[in-house]
Amino acid sequence: MEKFVIKGGQPLKGEVMVAGAKNAALKTVVASVLTDEEVVIENIPLISDLFLMVETAKRLGLSIEIDKKKRALFSKGGSLKTNKIPLEVGARIRTSSMFLSPLLSRFGEAVIPNPGGCRIGCRPIDRHIEGLAKMGAKIYYDPSDGYFHAKAARLHGVDFTFSKNTHTGTETLILAAVKAEGRTVLTNAAQEPEVDDLIKLLNSMGARIDRVEQRKIVIEGVKKLRGTKYKIMADRNEIVTLAIAALASKGEVTIHGGKREYLKAFLAKVREAGGGWEPKGEEITRFFYQKNFRPTEIITGPYPSFMTDWQAPWALLMTQTQGLSTIHETVFESRFLYVFELRKMGAKIDFFDPQVSHPQKFYNFNWVDKKQNCHQGIKIFGPTPLHNAILEVSDLRAGATLVLAGMIAKGESTLFGVEQIDRGYEKIEERLNKLGADIKRIKN
């Protein structure tokens, strides 16, 4: 276990380059299984989730390496030697379940662990499985071994409508359809920019994928995919985390990398809250504190709404705001674990359940997964000066939020479980310290 010791009080100042998107990079490893030719991915983030995905691909028999200096990933296909993802791998990285599609496509058979729950919710893959079954896969879950067993002589195209939005579910079906027999039409498909980044990568490999309407994607199956060289997009979640760090610490930070068009819902809320931001270039944005923050009401949702990954750091910012703010989380059923940690620092946050007429339809998670003791809303009363505390990281975004909290709190805080943060943020303490933070990483 490693920990951070964080001394609060310094406003952040300076410039920072944002890393490549975790939620794009992880899928490039899956896509590279679809060809024997060399796939080179540039602008990759050096994060532990990506290292785990590369390890998983190696265990499948792929020859794949990361060049940390070049920040590039080189995959040469190779002889896939197994179609099974071991349970212990699946338990460490949920996204490994996405190998299902390319394994079915290449082998006609796949055995993957049920990615199942994690700290932010049950996170089943029923929508993924439903779509693959419609494409001709025979899939059953064996509770006695915890694996999904899938077989498909040849995947064929399908007209499929998602019952509810699913980011990786959309990507799973795209990865299955690119070499399937015939045409696939995905309706009510996710439109997160990372999905379009995967589409661009696959099309550069010779796939034929078109987003014909906002939530409709058409894929014409092709026989073979070729190698490519592709640079992935910047990490939107990291931009939002760094921007909030600048605002909450009453500093000013210029962030390089990242298109503002993918951040519209966030930028609008920053304006509404009285935070400052200005474009300094095509992919350069300066965020700065200008006056006391105003309270806001946030409802999270699939893109282009305010993302679920942004609500934890936003909640921290709202603890420094004059008045009552609310956050209504509609994507995951248990994404407020960080509230208990912020309360230890003096934050005044209450849970509540917003009135919703048809919750089964309204919420993005499956209603059957709703737990009585989990709430979908929080009320944040500000401003509350935060003081130091001993903190525990529950999940990736909550962890980043607690780092920011330690940076603005009075005194010295200790944060345990920083491995969770390393999953999705590259050397977060080094980059924040370059902006004036005071964070020490201590290896136990």
Which residues of the chain form contacts with ligand EPZ (CB under 6 A)? 22-23, 26, 95, 121-128, 165-169, 192, 237, 307-309, 331-332, 364-366, 396-397, 424
In 105-207, DSSP assigns E strands to 109-113, 138-142, 147-151, 159-161, 183-187
Question: Cβ of residue 363: shortest distance to ligand EPZ, in angstroms?
Answer: 8
Residue 11 or 417: which CB sits closer to ligand EPZ?
417
Q: Which is nearer to ligand EPZ, 98 or 225 (CB)?
A: 98
Beta-strand ranges (E) seen in 30-90 are 39-42, 64-67, 72-75
Give the residue with the Cβ less far from ligand EPZ, 174 or 389. Answer: 174
CB of 64 to ligand EPZ, least distance (A): 18
Joined together, the tokens standing for residue 285 give 């944005």
Let me know if 374 is a catalytic residue. Answer: no
Q: Out of 5, 46, 91, 118, pick the active-site residue.
A: 118
Using CA atoms, how far apart are residues 133 and 93, in angstroms rounded to an integer?
23
Looking at the Cβ atoms of 195 and 409, the one nearer to ligand EPZ is: 195
**How far apart are the C-alpha atoms of 279 and 274, rounded to whole Å?**
16
How many whole angstroms separate alpha carbon 405 and alpha carbon 316? 7
Query: Least distance (Å) from ligand EPZ to the CB of residue 53?
Result: 10
Element spanning 175, H or E: helix 167-177
Give 43 or 168: the residue with its C-beta nearer to ligand EPZ: 168
In the complex, the smallest distance separating the C-beta of residue 371 from ligand EPZ, rounded to whole angstroms, is: 12
List alpha helices for 249-395, DSSP H.
264-272, 311-318, 338-344, 359-362
DSSP 291: S
Q: Shortest Cβ distance from residue 411 to ligand EPZ (Å)?
A: 29
With H, G, I as helix, E, B as strand and everything else as coil, classify residue 272: helix
β-bridge pairing 348-352 and 276-281: unpaired
d(CA 113, CA 96): 9
- Catalytic positions: 118
